[in-house]
Chain A
Amino acid sequence: MDVEQAARDLRNRTLSDIPRSLDRLIYLASMRDYNTGLYYHDGLASRFTQEVACEALAQCHREAFTQLVGCSLRDLVGQMEGYIDSTHTSPRDFVAAWKKLEPYRVAVPVETDPVSAQLLFSSFKIALAILETRLPSVLAQSSA
């Protein structure tokens, strides 16, 4: 019950300001300690307990992942364009870094089934390839 309340609190106070599921996935994955797999959020832990906050974050992380896996490729490419804009990074640098580092691989929740994880990785790979083909036109627009 507490976990449900904490998850609702997280959705209302924080996640409602993050409209794209890609951004939510990355945000929630960044709340996780890579050494322990536990999630930390000081504000949520102060209103509830550390354990409850951790479980609520994990639940919202799974939701964001499920939403993103359910997106069409067109939608994912659109979300990535929006995300690149929001980071104020050069699209060329962003695409190069994501192709090389594949940071999305560490953004999936634990105990995700391998097919869903692979579907998302594969979609990211294709989306990056599509975005890469659009780079020259982006550059041409900016120099015009």
Chain B
Amino acid sequence: MISLIFFLAIGALLFLSLFLLARRKPRAEGSSGALVEARQALTALQDGLLPAALVRRVFAKEDWEYVRSEAPKAVRELFVDERRSLAILWLTQVRAQIRSLGRFHRGTARHYANLNPRLELRLAVSFAALTGACSVLQVLVYVGGPYVAPRMVGAVAGALQGACKISEESLAFLNAARLGTLAGATRS
């Protein structure tokens, strides 16, 4: 009898927990913060880090050929160090923004964005693969210099532009005016 009451009590507790969990609404403040962060990450990627002109310049082999033909060894070494640091900075920033956007799509997007589960899964896989590719590239660039894997850099930038486009469509409802309101709400 005692054990029956004990198990009934545990069952009632579990049921109550499930009921409370199901009723819980996402916190408005956290959600709007996540939306603003996602939009900022998308803008940073599309306008700041992924424009072809910038990627081309960071990894421009013509600059290396110029330095190799014109400058002594010390300047060549300086050039390689500088461009290596720059390439790693680019990869670090890209990786950070992908992670931020990925976090949003994993956690909050379903409350707002007009995504179907298949598309969400595709985005999640893309972001995970791109984060991994950036990590691999960071190691390659650190070890072999900025010109070690130009095709991989191009492939990452291209794939990321595609993923950003999907993400952008899902965030299209968040226009500038709405973003300003949400940013204000997050700050206050």
| Chain A interface residues (CB < 8 Å from chain B) | 69-70, 72-74, 113-116, 118-119, 122-123, 125-126, 129-130, 133
7 of the cross-chain contacts (CB-CB < 8 Å) are A70-B57, A73-B63, A113-B48, A116-B54, A119-B57, A129-B75, A130-B75
Of residues 71 to 114 in B, which have CB atoms within 8 Å of A's CB atoms? 71-72, 74-75, 78-79, 82-83, 85-86, 89-90, 93
Quick check: is B179 within 8 A (CB to CB) of the other chain? no
Within 8 A of A (CB), among B32-59: 44, 47-49, 53-54, 57-58
B113 to chain A, nearest CB (A): 25
Is B19 an interface residue when CB atoms closer than 8 A count as contact? no
SS class of chain B's interface: helix, strand, loop or mixed?
Answer: helix
Report B's interface with A, CB cutoff 8 A: 44, 47-49, 53-54, 57-58, 60, 62-63, 66-67, 70-72, 74-75, 78-79, 82-83, 85-86, 89-90, 93
Give chain B nearest CB distance to A105 CB in angstroms: 15
Q: Is the CB of B86 within 8 A of A70?
A: no
Dominant SS at the A interface?
A: helix
State the Cβ distance, B74 to closest chain A Cβ, in Å: 8
Max chain B Cβ within 10 angstroms of own Cβ: one of A114, A115, A125, A129: A115
| Complex-state Cα separation, A114 to B47, whole angstroms | 12
Verify A115–B78 contact, CB threshold 8 A.
no
Q: Once bound together, how far apart are the Cα atoms of A74 and B58, in whole Å?
A: 14
Residues of chain B lying within 8 A (CB to CB) of residue A115: 48-49, 54, 58, 86, 89-90, 93
Nearest CB of chain B from residue A133's CB, rounded to whole Å:
6
Task: Give every chain A residue within 8 A of B85 (Cβ-Cβ).
Answer: 122
B71 and A114 form a contact (CB under 8 A): no
Given contacts A70-B57, A118-B89, A119-B57, contact A113 B44 (CB under 8 A): yes
Smallest CB–CB gap between A99 and chain B, Å?
A: 12
Measured between beta carbons, the chain B residues less than 8 angstroms from A123 are 63
A119 touches B54 (CB 8 A): yes
Is there contact, CB below 8 Å, between A126 and B75?
Answer: yes
Question: Which residues in B have their C-beta under 8 angstroms from that of A130?
Answer: 67, 70-71, 75
A119, A125, A129: which contacts B71 (Cβ < 8 A)?
A129
